[in-house]
Amino acid sequence: MKREELLKVMKKKRMIALVCLIICGFFIYLNFHSHKGVNLVIKNQTDNKTHSFVLKTKNIVINIHPISIGEVYKRKEIPIDEDSDYILLEYKDSKGKKHVLHVIGKYKGGYDGKAEVILKSIDTNGEYLTESSYEIKNH
């Protein structure tokens, strides 16, 4: 093989290695930086429009509009500080009494994940029967 051909082959191999390195770096970046915080889903499976909710962490308060029958509310990347250790949903029943749904409790900031709250039914006083689940991971 001539020297010029050998140099061309080596340049191609370097280019391929560089492209592979860039692609791997991109996927590593996405894995570690694409999601920060908790994604929340609230599903209204009741026969009524919901009350307004207030989503709370230790440092954040977010007002959530009433959710229509069959509607799904999604909130992406609720920021979680190192000081945060819970996510709550608060609402008032038909008599004005405050209720608290513990979406996620007792975890350390620096984590991310997803949480789901399913509003199954509502009683005559306006209190919800719910199912909830969450998955938290260190990022």
3: its two tokens: 């020297």
26: its two tokens: 């991109």
- Asked if 89 contacts 75 with a C-beta cutoff of 8 angstroms, the reply is no
Per-residue pLDDT of the chain (139 residues; tens, 9 = 90+): 687 888 888 888 888 988 888 988 887 776 665 556 788 999 999 999 999 999 998 888 999 999 999 999 999 877 766 666 688 999 999 889 999 998 887 666 566 788 999 999 999 888 999 999 888 776 5
Residue 139, pLDDT score: 56
Residue 77, pLDDT score: 77
pTM: 0.70
DSSP state string for 79-105: ---TT--EEEEEEE-TTS-EEEEEEEE
- Asked if 128 contacts 103 with a C-beta cutoff of 8 angstroms, the reply is no
- Residues present in the chain in total: 139
C-alpha separations of 21 from 18, 29, 56, 122, 127 in Å? 5, 12, 41, 54, 55
Q: Are strands 38-44 and 111-122 parallel, antiparallel or unpaired?
A: parallel
Residue 30, pLDDT score: 67
Residue 63, pLDDT score: 96
Domains of the chain, by residue range, sit at 1-34, 35-138
- Check if CATH label 2.60.40.2890 holds for domain 35-138: yes
The Cα 104–Cα 60 span in angstroms is 14
